[in-house]
Structure 1
Amino acid sequence: MAPESDMPTVVKVDDVWQIEGKPRERFEIRAMYHPPNLPGKTIVVGYINIPPNGGTPSHRHGGAAVIAIPVSGYSLNQMNGQEPKIYGPGDFLYEAPGCHHQRSDNPGEENAIFFAVLVVDDEVINGGKDLGQLVVLDKEVETGERKPSKCVGKYENPCCE
C-alpha cells in the first residue's frame, strides 16, 4: 500500500468530497439489468467523465465486481497497493469484489471518458433503489458519514479487511 504521506489530501468543497485542487468526476447510471442467470445480482452500466487534472478520492464499490472500459483520454489508476497504471482506449481494468481503488486520476489534457460495468448484490443496492453503495469514499467512512462498503468474504481477495 502507498505510504500515507503519498496519499492525496481529500477535502470537502460545497458538500462534496474531492482531492484537494482537483475537480471530481461525473458519474451517471446509463442502464441496470437483472439477468435471470445471475439471481440476486444487478448489472449496472455507468458512464464516467473525469475532466483534465480531475480525480476521484479513494473508494470501494459495495462488493461489486467492476470492469471499466476507457473510450477516450487516459486515467491513472491504483488498486490494492499495487503500482499505479495508466489506462486508455483499447484497455480495460478489473476490480474484484472488495477492491480498494486508491487512485483514479486524469493526468491528461482531455477528458478521460469510460464505461464501467458493475455486478453487485441486489441486497447491497436495495434492488436498485439505493445506488449509494456503488461508490463509497474512504473519507466518508473515516468521518462516519457512511458505512463501509460490503466486503464479500467468499471471494479470496486480500483487500477485504
Structure 2
Amino acid sequence: MRNLKTLSALTAGLMLMSLQAAYAHEAGDGHEKVTVLQEQSPANAPGKKALLLTVDYAPGQRSAAHLHPGSVLAYVVEGEVISQIKGQEPKLYKAGESWYEPAGSAHLQSRNASETKPAKLVAWVLNDEKAPVLEPYEQ
C-alpha cells in the first residue's frame, strides 16, 4: 500500500511538471514568461478547472492579442501593466491593482507600461476542464 501511495504521488508530480511545461514559455523566446503555479478541479464546479499563474513582462514587452475562454482575475504584483478588453479603453494598472475579464473576452492589449522596468501579474483563471487558457485573436 505504501508503494502505491508513493507511486501515486510521483505520478501526480510528473503530471504537474508536464502541465507547467505545456503552459510556460520563457521570456527569452520573445514571449512574456508564463508560469503555472497551481491547477485544480474545484469540487464545487464540476467540469471546470482553476489555474493560478504568473505573467512576467520584460521592459517594453507585450502579449499578442488573445481570447480567454474562461473568466480571469488579474492582479499586478510588480510594475505597471496596460490592459485593454475589446469594447473598453486601455487602462493602466499599477502594483496592487486588479481587473476582471469575463469568459470569452477579447484581450486586445496586455503589456508592460515601462520600457525600463519589468512588470509581473498574477492571474486566476476559471475554465472548462478541456479548454485552453487562451486562444489567438485576430483583430
TM-score, normalising length: structure 1: 0.64
C-alpha distance in 2, partners of 1:123/1:53? 33
Tell me if 1:134 matches 2:126. Answer: no
Question: Root-mean-square deviation (CA), in Å?
Answer: 1.4
SS in 2 for 1:97: coil
Q: Aligned-pair distance for 1:42?
A: 0.6
Check the 8 A contact 2:76/2:120 in 1, yes or no.
yes
Gaps of 5+ in 2: 1-29
> Which of these two proteins has the greater Rg computed from alpha carbons?
2
C-alpha distance in 1, partners of 2:99/2:121? 11
Question: Of residues 9, 29, 33 in structure 2, which corresponds to 1:26?
Answer: 33
TM-score, normalising length: structure 2: 0.74
Tell me if 1:121 matches 2:120. Answer: no
Check the 8 A contact 2:106/2:137 in 1, yes or no.
no
Check the 8 A contact 1:81/1:102 in 2, yes or no.
no
Tell me which residue corresponds to 2:15.
none
Q: What is the percentage of aligned positions where both structures have the same residue?
A: 28
Tell me which residue corresponds to 1:157.
none
Tell me if 1:90 matches 2:96. Answer: yes
Structure 1 residue runs of 4+, over 3 Å off? none
C-alpha distance in 2, partners of 1:88/1:120? 26
Report the residue type matching 1:82 in the other structure: Q
Gaps of 5+ in 1: 1-22, 125-132, 143-161
C-alpha distance in 2, partners of 1:105/1:47? 14
Q: Aligned-pair distance for 1:123?
A: 3.1
Tell me if 1:46 matches 2:53. Answer: yes
Tell me which residue corresponds to 1:58.
65
C-alpha distance in 2, partners of 1:55/1:24? 8
Report the residue type matching 2:137 in the other structure: D
Report the residue type matching 1:85 in the other structure: K
Q: Deviations over 1:26-74 (max 9, x none)?
A: 111110111111111110011100111000011011x200001110001
C-alpha distance in 2, partners of 1:86/1:71? 13
